[in-house]
Amino acid sequence: MAETIAAISTAPGEGGIGIVRVSGPASLDLMKKLMQKCPEEIEPRHAYFGKVVRDSADPASEVIDEAVFLFMKGPASYTGEDMLEIQGHGSNVSLKGILKAVLESGFEGVRMADPGEFTKLAFLNGKMDLSQAEAVIDIIKAKTDLSLEIAESQREGRLSENIENIRENLMDVLAEMAVNIDYPDEDEDMIGSGDDDSSLVNQLRWVLSDVENLLDTASIGRIAREGVRAVIVGKPNAGKSSLMNALLGEGRVIVTDIPGTTRDTVEENASLGGIPIVLVDTAGLRDTEDKVEKIGIEKTTQAIASADIVILVLDGSQELDEEDDKVIEYIAKMNTDHLLAVINKEDLGVSVSEEYVATKLPNATIIRTSLVGKGAVEAAKTISEAIGRIFDFGSINVRETSIITNERHVQMLRNAVMNIDEAISMLQNGEPLEVAELSAHYAYDALGRIIGEEVGDEVLNTVFSKFCLGK
């Protein structure tokens, strides 16, 4: 017998409304049993208001809550099965009471849902493919407008459509390969025998280009999902912590005029102009005998190595000294792709030459700021705008471009690139067409696994275990 699953779908805590979600063949029977004075005829997708009881057939049955009951007839539902939502008050006690009544209803096969099981049912019942299902959790976890927009685009099927188009083109190549394998004398020019201009080689190159273009969006996708990792560095007392507080809009980090106050890395998530960002304040880079400070400096060097952008803070009110030069030289040796140099304390007069900094760090964007009073607000705006220009987020049209945000998808795309490359090399080297066809088919299968074709239970369990209960 098919099972019926149930779970609380709203987040723990207090709220105006809380929802208990049910999916499976017992959904309608549960509504009739748990709703006091339930109508005999239930129209799907119509809201019914009533009291929640343990057994509507018992006049003395305990009232748990007042709620809105909403029944959805499968397959026209989220999971593709019959579903029931009981929308009560957002009290943990009330919702747990409703869920307990569902689970103890006495109907066969009713059980607690596993994490992500509602969405897993939607996938298994063909309501969405696997990439769309994965986008659901990205929507739930979205921290900024950009990450939400990308996730919503994937949920609507833009990535799926892109993958299907690439697979269709690759299938055309596979079909031509199959014809040449079965009828090797029909059209030898199609194979090419090492000729770079052969039809099959060119078609595979076009497919490869499409896959690589999609894979190239993964760096943007990772940033959109996890945030730009911005590591703030500089010598002690240059204003690193003040800068972080300004960007956060709050006094998160202790600021004093005593050098070496920050002994450890401090991380905070923020959204700057719609850009997700992870701000990392670090210990000042300098020579020190303090064992604790040394540990902090070691963590600073590790943070720089993992940064998407390094924000170097210099005390602009004083001429650069040997300590500053050591920091600048260290940053230059790291060969950081994205670098922002902030010449701070311009309210005290600027003694630092922008030309000198530009000579030492030619790839750096240079900004002069003051982090005192209202200057902090202006500095935060200027720096967030600079970061936006550096990463060029404004050029991303999520509605027209698929953005890869999922590491599983990255692995499958890399697998496809490797196998298409192998197939091209085999054709160019005149190796048997059957072997090249096998590599091209592996690429086709790898792309299919992105949208959920021929994936095993282990992959599905891994994907849906990341979901919360009730989704």
* Residue 162: CATH number of its domain: 1.20.120.430
Verify that 367 and 282 share a domain, yes or no.
yes
Verify that 332 and 385 share a domain, yes or no.
yes
Verify that 239 and 102 share a domain, yes or no.
no
The CATH number of residue 312's host domain is: 3.40.50.300
For residue range 255-288, list pLDDT tens digits in order.
444 344 444 567 888 777 667 788 888 765 555 5
Residue 450 has pLDDT above 50, yes or no: yes
136 part of a folded domain: no
Q: Tell me how many domains the chain contains.
A: 3
Choose between 335 and 97: higher pLDDT: 97
Verify that 286 and 424 share a domain, yes or no.
no
91 part of a folded domain: yes
The CATH number of residue 16's host domain is: 3.30.1360.120
Verify that 415 and 379 share a domain, yes or no.
no
Verify that 186 and 94 share a domain, yes or no.
no
Verify that 289 and 362 share a domain, yes or no.
yes
Residue of 104, 88, 96 lying closest to 26 (CA atoms): 104
Of 395, 425, 452, the position where a domain reaches its end is: 395
Verify that 364 and 410 share a domain, yes or no.
no
Which pLDDT belongs to residue 393? 65
If pLDDT is split at 50, 70 and 90, which confidence band does 183 have?
low
Residue 129 has pLDDT above 80, yes or no: yes
Verify that 252 and 389 share a domain, yes or no.
yes
Verify that 309 and 341 share a domain, yes or no.
yes
For residue range 299-316, list pLDDT tens digits in order.
777 777 778 888 988 888
Verify that 352 and 415 share a domain, yes or no.
no
If pLDDT is split at 50, 70 and 90, which confidence band does 419 have?
very high
Instruction: Write out the residue range of the structural domain in which residue 423 sits.
Output: 158-217+403-464
470 part of a folded domain: no
Choose between 350 and 455: higher pLDDT: 350
Residue 354 has pLDDT above 50, yes or no: yes
Residue 212 has pLDDT above 60, yes or no: yes
* Prediction pTM value: 0.76
166 part of a folded domain: yes
